[in-house]
């Protein structure tokens, strides 16, 4: 009787343990399928676009000395490759109307020319301080005859 009881208790333990093990494995499998599916259908994060007004605001709020000290951390971006002519014209007008932005524009343009990251025929027209980008344009492109094209 004792031998038969041990077989029954072993069978009972196995029967009780088996559903838990199967259930646990099913959960792991379901989680891995969900994780794999959520990775493949996740949308890529997009960065917010930089607006003309925000570039003027950043030009006015920037500290040219900080830009000069951390110049290697800033990226120079050709504005005509990311903006159309109308946006560049509007940006130039807004910077011209803001004396602080105009002063910072001149100081940063001078710093970039002295560091040889900008030619004498180029000018900084905007900035995105959060992404550490300085937008430059060829003077002939934006001021062909002292007017906006």
Least Cα distance to 136 among 103, 102, 101, 112 occurs for 112
pLDDT for res 140: 80
Residue ranges of the chain whose pLDDT lies below 50 = 12, 21-40, 43-47, 146-149
| Per-residue model confidence (pLDDT) at position 63 | 95
- Residue 50's pLDDT is 78
What 8-state DSSP symbol labels residue 149?
-
The reported pLDDT for the residue numbered 80 is 87
d(CA 83, CA 59): 17
- Across-strand partners of 135? 77, 126
Cα–Cα distances in angstroms (integers) from residue 1 to residues 9, 13, 14, in the given order: 12, 18, 20
pLDDT value at residue 33? 45
pLDDT of residue 47: 43
Report pLDDT for 139: 85
Distance, CA of 126 to CA of 99 (rounded, Å):
14
Structure tokens at 14: 């196995």
Question: Per the structure block, which two tokens stand in for 42?
Answer: 């996740």
CA distances from 70 to 2, 30, 109, 126, 131 (A): 83, 49, 15, 17, 13
Query: Shortest CA distance to 111 belongs to which of 140, 69, 143?
Result: 69
Q: What is the pLDDT of residue 49?
A: 73
- At residue 36, the pLDDT reads 45
Domain positions in the chain are 1-46, 52-142
- Residue 2 is predicted with a pLDDT of 57
């Amino acid at each position: 009787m004792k031998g038969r009881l041990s077989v029954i208790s072993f069978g009972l333990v196995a029967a009780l343990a088996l559903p838990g093990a199967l259930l646990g494995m099913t959960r792991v499998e379901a989680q891995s399928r969900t994780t794999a599916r959520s990775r493949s259908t996740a949308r890529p994060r997009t960065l917010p676009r930089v607006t003309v007004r925000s570039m003027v605001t950043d030009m006015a709020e920037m500290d040219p000395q900080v830009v000069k000290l951390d110049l290697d951390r800033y990226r120079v971006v050709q504005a005509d490759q990311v903006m159309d002519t109308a946006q560049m014209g509007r940006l130039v007008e807004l910077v011209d109307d803001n004396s602080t932005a105009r002063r910072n524009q001149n100081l940063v343009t001078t710093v970039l020319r002295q560091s040889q990251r900008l030619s004498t025929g180029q000018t900084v027209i905007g900035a995105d301080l959060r992404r550490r980008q300085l937008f430059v344009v060829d003077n002939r492109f934006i001021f062909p005859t002292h007017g906006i094209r």
